[in-house]
Amino acid sequence: MAAMATSSLRSIPSNTWLHKFRPRTSIPSRSFTTLASLSPIENTENIQLNVTVPSTSNNNNNDKSNKSFFPKRGQTLELVCESLAFKGKGVCKVADTGFVLMCDRALPGERFIGRVTRKKDNFAEVKKLKTITPHFDYVEAPCEYASHCGGCKTQNLSYEAQLKAKEQQVRDLVVHVGKFSDHEPEFAGAMKPIVPCDIQFHYRNKESGKFHILLSVSDAFDLVEVMGSSRGNSLLQKCEMEFSFGPKGWVPAEQLQEKSTEGCVYALGLHAPGFFDKVLNVNKCLLQSDPANEVLAIVQECWRDPELGLSPWNVYSHSGFLKHLMLRTGSNVETGLPDLMVNFVTSSDNPEYLKPLVEKIATIPEAVSIVNNVNTSIGNTSVGEKEYTLYGKSTITEILRGLTFQISANSFFQTNTQQAEILYKLIEDCAFLKGDGSEIVLDLFCGTGTIGLTLAKRVKHVYGFEVVAQAVADARQNATLNCINNATFIEGDLNKIDSTFASNLPKPDIVITDPNRPGMHIKLIKFLLKLRASRIIYVSCNPATCARDLNYLCYGVPEQNIEGHYRLISLQPVDMFPHTPHIECVCLLELRYLWDLESEKNTNASYEAAVIRSSWTSEN
């Protein structure tokens, strides 16, 4: 793949949904009440004495004496959450002005007291201080970290309510970012109900944690999950949580009052959202497999032992040895039982320091691979420049749609294998293969080749593109492992393509594109619009960038005089990650030209057929 000068990826505004709620400053506010002073309150017990109660769409504040209400930074407010926005933040609105307040961990229907932490022109961010009355669909969270860890932000929301919220978020994004009209029957037909996840805990096959130094106790910031993210290297991103590193640990405010944190010097666990240096120590995660939790427990039990001489990475001083612990669960090909890979990411090349930990972990029968990635950079990347196999194999296997896949520590693999079966079935349905072995498939962002290989036996040839060299090597190995010889995997950066990209390949009939969160680079969009493959299947773990790219593919890029050529036939959200804000989508786009021909022949037959074949039914 030829390299071109890179231009940065286009970004979408972080608050694209906001125009729906843009404040109408000219309209005077009907009502709000200032109950007391606006000074920040540190003691949450005294909150009632100091709150402002703006009139929100859901409360009945009938005081008509006040002017338009726009909160100030530091102000303490009583609010009612209306809905969940993308990324899981609760949305509260001031009724008359439409001014939006976003609050992490506020759930629909919840009445709470929050403090304004950030104020922008048309919205403010609020930190929840105290719940007054819980939300409509409250359930007890089974996880002890649920109220602090940012990973499972919605454990307190019933699963049905989580699904409803996610479905609505996708619809809103496709309408507001993608500019599809929800009044058009065509769009209404394309939007599918979300596919639920039958297993709502222990579904993750990969978790990662961080080693952190807990230096001081900070004030109460919500947490974001570091587990599940292999990243640092954004090219590897999938639907895993983003995380950062820091030497500053974090203890929730309530625990600060309850118990002394003395002696809790180091932390291995979860990061505070937006803070790379605050970490919540975690001993168990309900999203990962039992063997993975056993490993976590073993590591937690002994890694602080001074005799081992292990130290956590300090992002400020760039010192310390242990950076990440990554746990990935696959399936044993013979028994189908869990196979576990344990990956220690360290800052220096001293694998012998890990020997005592390795000996203990190796006692767990499922731990079939223990590796050490050495990453000497000062950044947070978990991909090593060097990799050592400390015990067992260097890869684990996973079984997906009847094929066996070999996965190395640094290759992307679907995090929830059970749900990936369903996702891949949907992709296969959208591909609508003729089955005569005549079609060419282009598998962009192919990772270890999984999607392309599951289709390979029914097509003429699969061409996969992927930037991570190890993933490409795994993809080739996976083709061999499954006796597939009509798949070619090519290493290259799809953000840096030029006009020669893929020019030596036959024209594909079907393009599958499965980018990571930033979506597709404009160069790739332009390539696809020029290529005009009959069908594009867009698999996305970020509905916001997906909506943007769908807009380009369907309506073009007017500012660059580029026409769109596709029609959105179906958009199927899939819940791969219950309790987290993540949403996966499978979108089917058909070349408009083909559509029009079909329409002429048989009015809406093509459309209806496509909609039927791509929609999820329980028989699937």
Ligand X SMILES: C[S@@+](CC[C@H](N)C(=O)[O-])C[C@H]1O[C@@H](n2cnc3c(N)ncnc32)[C@H](O)[C@@H]1O
Number of H helices, E strands in the chain: 12, 24
CB 299 within 8 A of CB 324: no
SS3 letters across 261-283? CCCCCEEEEEECCCCCCCEEECC
Among 354, 471, 479, 528, binds ligand X (CB under 6 A): 471
Site for ligand X, residues 503 to 522, rule: CB under 6 A: 514, 516
Tokens of 325: 């612990």
Q: Which of residues 269-308 bind ligand X (CB under 6 A)?
A: none
Element (H, E) at 85: none
Residues 418-447 binding ligand X (CB under 6 A) are: 445-447
Minimum Å gap between C-beta 470 and ligand X is 9
Sign of CA dihedral 23, 29, 30, 36: positive
Asked whether residue 307 is marked as a ligand-binding residue, the answer is no
Listing DSSP states for 386-453 in one string gives: EEEEEEE-SEEEEEETTEEEEEETTS---S-HHHHHHHHHHHHHHHT--SSS--EEEEES-TTTHHHH
Tell me the window of 184-192, 302-310, 489-497, 568-576 that interacts with ligand X (CB under 6 A): 489-497
**Closest CB 27 distance from ligand X, rounded Å:** 44
Instruction: Give the shortest CB-576-to-ligand X separation in angstroms.
Output: 11
**C-alpha 306, offset from chain centre:** 37
Minimum CB distance to ligand X, residue 466 (Å): 5
Residues 399-418 that bind ligand X (CB under 6 A): 412-414
Sheet with strand 76-80: strands edge to edge? 32-34, 52-54, 76-80, 111-119, 123-133, 100-104, 89-93, 83-84
Answer for which of 116, 467, 479, 510 binds ligand X (CB under 6 A) is 467
Select 6 or 604, whichever has its Cβ closest to ligand X: 6
Q: How far is the CB of 522 from ligand X (least distance, A)?
A: 13
* In the complex, least distance from residue 412 CB atom to ligand X, rounded to whole angstroms: 3
Binding ligand X (rule: CB under 6 A), the pick from 451, 459, 487, 586 is 451
Contact between 585 and 542 under an 8 Å Cβ cutoff? The reply is no
Catalytic entry in 197, 541, 546, 585: 541
Q: Binding ligand X by CB under 6 A: which of 331, 369, 408, 450?
A: 450
Query: What span, in angstroms and rounded, lies between the C-alpha atoms of 508 and 501?
Result: 13
Nearer of residues 354 and 396 to ligand X, judged by Cβ: 396
- The 213-242 site mask, x for binding ligand X (CB under 6 A), equals ----------------------xx-x----
Q: Which residue in the shown chain puts its C-beta closest to ligand X?
A: 447
Is residue 143 part of the annotated active site? The answer reads: no
* Crossing angle of helices 543-555 and 159-176, rounded to 10°: 30
Told to check if 474 binds ligand X by CB under 6 A, we report: no
514 labelled binding-site residue: yes
SS3 475: helix
b/e map 520-542, b = 16+ CB within 10 Å: bbbbbbbbbbebebbbbbbbbbb
Contact 344/373 with Cβ under 8 angstroms? yes
Pairwise CA distance, residues 106 & 517, whole Å: 24
- Residue from 468, 502, 511, 525 touching ligand X (CB under 6 A): that is 468
Q: Which is nearer to ligand X, 55 or 478 (CB)?
A: 478
Residue matched to tokens 């005799």:
307
Separation CA 545–CA 243 (nearest Å):
20
C-beta closer to ligand X: residue 51 or 446: 446
> Which residue, 314 or 382, has its beta carbon nearer to ligand X?
382
Dihedral, CA of residue 417, residue 422, residue 423 and residue 425, to nearest 10: 120
CB of 17 to ligand X, least distance (A): 23
Q: Which is nearer to ligand X, 212 or 521 (CB)?
A: 521
Please tell me whether residue 154 binds ligand X under the rule CB under 6 A. no
How many of the chain's residues bind ligand X (CB under 6 A)?
A: 22
Per CB under 6 A, does 494 bind ligand X? yes
Q: Is 412 annotated as a binding residue?
A: no
Instruction: Name which of residues 527 to 546 contact ligand X (CB under 6 A).
Output: 541
Calpha distance 301→284 (Å, rounded): 12
Q: Which is nearer to ligand X, 156 or 614 (CB)?
A: 614
CB of 331 within 8 A of CB of 397? yes
Of the two residues 238 and 567, which places its CB atom closer to ligand X in the complex? 238
608 is in an annotated binding site: no
**Least distance (Å) from ligand X to the CB of residue 491?**
8
Hey, which residues are catalytic here? 541
* Residue list for the binding site for S-adenosyl-L-methionine: 414, 445, 466, 514
> Binding residues for ligand X, per CB under 6 A?
235-236, 238, 412-414, 445-447, 450-451, 465-468, 471, 493-495, 514, 516, 541
